[in-house]
Amino acid sequence: MCGRFVQTPIRDAASLGFHQLVGDLLSMPASYNLAPTQRAAVVLDRGNGLVLQRLAWGLLPFWARDKTRQGSTINARIETVDTKPAYRSAFKKRRCLIPMTGYYEWSVSREDGKKDPWFIHAVRPLWAAGLWEDTSPLLDPGNLGTFTVITGDSSGVSADIHDRMPVWLAPGQAEEWIAASPDDAMAMLMASDPPELEAYRVRRAVNSTRNNREDLLDAVA
DSSP letter at 156 equals G
- DSSP, collapsed to helix, strand or coil, labels residue 43 as strand
pLDDT given for residue 17 in this prediction: 82
pLDDT given for residue 210 in this prediction: 97
Could you tell me the pTM of the whole model?
0.95
Sequence-ordered list of residues with C-beta below 8 angstroms from that of 170, at least 6 positions apart, any chain: 127, 193
pLDDT given for residue 10 in this prediction: 95
User: Per residue of the chain (221 residues), what is the pLDDT tens digit?
Assistant: 789 999 999 998 888 888 889 999 999 999 999 999 999 999 999 999 999 999 999 999 989 988 888 889 999 999 999 999 999 999 999 999 999 999 999 999 888 989 999 999 999 999 999 999 998 888 888 889 999 999 999 999 999 999 999 999 999 999 999 999 999 999 999 999 999 999 999 999 999 999 999 999 999 97
CATH for 4-217 is 3.90.1680.10
User: What are the distances in angstroms from CA 114 to CA 157, 161, 203?
Assistant: 21, 14, 12
Give yes or no for a contact between 152 and 66, defined as CB atoms under 8 angstroms apart: no
pLDDT given for residue 100 in this prediction: 98
- DSSP, collapsed to helix, strand or coil, labels residue 171 as helix
Closest by CA to 150, choosing from 192, 110, 121, is: 192
**Cα atoms found within 13 Å of the Cα of residue 96, Cβ hemisphere only:** 32
Degrees to nearest 5, angle at CA 62 with 61 and 67: 60
DSSP annotation string for 75-105: EEETTTTTTSTTTHHHHHH-EEEEEEEEEEE
pLDDT given for residue 33 in this prediction: 98
Closest by CA to 26, choosing from 46, 4, 10, is: 10
Tell me how far apart the alpha carbons of residues 18 and 201 are, in angstroms, rounded to a whole number.
32
Domain ranges of the chain: 4-217
- Residue type present at position 45: D
pLDDT given for residue 70 in this prediction: 87
Tell me how far apart the alpha carbons of residues 44 and 22 are, in angstroms, rounded to a whole number.
15
